[in-house]
Amino acid sequence: MKLPQALLLACAVMINTSACATKLPPIVPVAHVDLPRYMGSWYVIAAIPTRFETDAYDAVETYTLKSNGDVATFFHFRKGSFDGKLKEFRTTGIVKPGTGNAVWGVRVFWPLKAQYVVAYLKDDYSQVIVARDARDYVWVMARTPTISQADYDALLDKVKALGYPMDKIRKVPQRPRGTDLGTGAR
């Protein structure tokens, strides 16, 4: 992406975020995230997606802890179908000090950092909800490509309780796989 395009995109994202600002209280993050345990791959089960992922299939976000404490992120998905073009995005998560590792700024490109709040994390690190105060985007993720209907419904109830517009939620199609990506459980 050329620099002028990047600057225009950054401005559009900032304007969109300001326009979507809400009078709801800030998202309350979980008390603590064990970063080494949180690292690894997460399947996107449902989302209010960014414009880049509106028609994502087989979406997976993978985190790797860097030696400086930042988090390298790798997001990939198929565009439009299970056989669609593979799209990949690499960003860096910068953990905000004093948040129990539950709030990050994700550097999409300099100088823009998008808010990343771990709003729910199952005790066994098998399911997570990542939210933003603006209630413009949300991601429901799991260590496996599918979850039970009861778990899905419970997670969406949590998203609704956070103040998100439920009519914007998209269930992300995931192709069944023979093995999961690891639960992160110990």
pLDDT in tens, 146-162: 999 999 999 999 999 99
The Cα 128–Cα 142 span in angstroms is 6
pLDDT at 127 (0 to 100): 98
Taking 60 as the threshold, does the pLDDT of residue 180 lie above it? no
Mean pLDDT across 70-89: 96
Mean pLDDT across 65-89: 96
Name the band, by pLDDT with cuts 50, 70 and 90, for residue 108: confident
| Cα-based distances in Å from 71 to 23, 24, 48, 186 | 30, 28, 22, 21
**More confident call, 149 vs 21:** 149
37-59 burial code (b ≥16 CB/10 A, e <16): ebbbbbbbbbbbbbeebebbbbb
Taking 50 as the threshold, does the pLDDT of residue 73 lie above it? yes
**More confident call, 156 vs 181:** 156
pLDDT at 7 (0 to 100): 34
pLDDT at 178 (0 to 100): 55
Mean pLDDT across 55-76: 97
Taking 90 as the threshold, does the pLDDT of residue 14 lie above it? no
pLDDT at 24 (0 to 100): 87
**More confident call, 9 vs 105:** 105
Mean pLDDT across 128-141: 97
Taking 70 as the threshold, does the pLDDT of residue 3 lie above it? no
Mean pLDDT across 131-159: 97
Spatial contact of 114 and 102, defined as CB atoms under 8 Å apart: no
